Amino acid sequence: MNNRMNQEMLKKNFEEHEFETSFFETKEQAADYLKAQVKGQKVAFGGSVTLQEMGLFNALSEENEVIWHWNEPGPETLAKARDARIYITSANGVSETGELVNIDGTGNRVAQTLYGPEKVYFVVGANKIEKDLSAALSRARNVAAPLNAKRLKTNTPCSRTGERCFDCSSEARICRATVILERPTRGMKAEVVFVNETLGY
């Protein structure tokens, strides 16, 4: 895992893959940037410790309608989120070669990154970045997912310590869909907002 970002390589490889990129040293700078970019919009958030740590819900709520099931849980909120023009989430694994990996249980988060919004922002801390797609996939499976299971206190073998995946067959398994974005899907804009500090998991 890299603790510092190779900005030049990330910019080159993600932009070659048709993603927009932006780079910030701190989460506060990234939040200010998103506040300036997103105004008067219907915005939805994916479940994300990164966004929580940034305080982004309150920051964007000043000038937008923000829909977040972590703020208002329930199926109605998830249904409302499907109409948002802007979607903001993080990624579970990011490759320096220009791919984004997300693992989902309910599917709402990965679905919104594939079809629906006009633009998706992925806010990514330096701790999410790996050297290639294989390592990013491994990070998503063996680091992000067990830590999320631990946070959710799921009845899965990984949730006790959050240290590794057991590829379980539990009913409570949170890993049900793995999406690799190699490029933004056709007709959708996507920007990766890199933050050079540890954010989320």
Distances (CA, A) of 183 to 113, 175, 176, 179: 11, 22, 22, 12
In the complex, minimum distance from the CB of residue 155 to ligand SF4, in angstroms, rounded to a whole number: 9
Query: Toward ligand SF4, which CB reaches closer, 37 or 170?
Result: 170
Minimum gap (Å) between residue 163 Cβ and ligand SF4: 10
- Nearer residue to ligand SF4 within complex by CB, 90 or 97: 90
Q: In whole angstroms, what is the distance from residue 161 CA to residue 24 CA?
A: 32
Cβ 8 to ligand SF4, closest distance in Å? Answer: 33
Nearest residue to 140 (alpha-carbon basis) of 128, 152, 125: 128
110 or 195, CB closer to ligand SF4?
110
Helix (H) or strand (E) holding 11: helix 7-16
Considering the complex, what minimum distance in angstroms separates the CB of residue 164 from ligand SF4? 8
Q: Across-strand partners of 126?
A: none
Give the pairing type, strands 189-195 and 177-181: unpaired
Residues whose CB falls within 8 Å of the CB of residue 178, separated by 6 or more in sequence, listed in order: 101, 102, 103, 137, 140, 141
**Which residue, 51 or 158, has its beta carbon nearer to ligand SF4?**
158
CA distance 47 to 64: 18
Of 81 and 140, the one with the shorter C-beta distance to ligand SF4 is 140
Q: Rounded to the nearest whole angstrom, what is the least distance from the CB of residue 137 to ligand SF4 in the complex?
A: 13
The nearest distance, CB 93 to ligand SF4, in angstroms, is 13
Pick between residue 155 and residue 185 the one whose CB is nearest to ligand SF4.
Answer: 155
Q: Where are the alpha helices (DSSP H) in 22-74?
A: 27-37, 49-54, 56-61
Q: Where on the chain is the footprint of ligand SF4 (CB under 6 A)? A: 145-146, 149, 156-158, 165-168, 170, 173-175
Query: For residue 170, is it left (φ>0), alpha (ψ between -120 and 50) or beta?
Result: beta
